[in-house]
Amino acid sequence: MTTAIITPALVDLSLEADSRQVATRRLAQLLASQGRVTDLDGFLADVSARERQMPTGIEGGIGIPHARSAFVAEPTLAFARSKAGVDYGAADGPAHLIFLIAAPEGGGAQHMTILAALARRLVHASFREALATAPDAQAVVDIVTKEVLGS
């Protein structure tokens, strides 16, 4: 059985974090609480190593920290909304919509497929607006499932 890549338990609509490290840790804790990540610090080290290669902030107020890691049990997407914004290194300023993509070490193709599909949708203001105004976690899951995963 395949588990949903994103569930309401993996969504935080009121993230409070003053740095990308804190924001990423909060999202990773959601993954760990759902059994998607087996070693929180090990996974965060992998995300941090990826972040050092190149910042994961993209234009439009988006952060997409991501990593392939031996500590990921299954491909997973977590989402947070931050009113204050978190600096993920984008030229146009802080991220208000943050996605954490976690993929198992051997699952490279799936990780890239999710990342590419997400990036394609995020260029559309309507998609960003829908996420920014989603009334609850289930609405976010429904939007992402339909728009990114095509199901």
Residues designated catalytic: 66
Distance (Å, whole) CA 28 – CA 126: 27
Q: How wide is the angle at C-alpha 55 spanned by C-alphas 19 and 113, nearest 5°?
A: 115
Residues 6+ apart with CB under 8 A from 70: 42, 46, 104, 105
Distance CA 151, CA 144 (A): 9
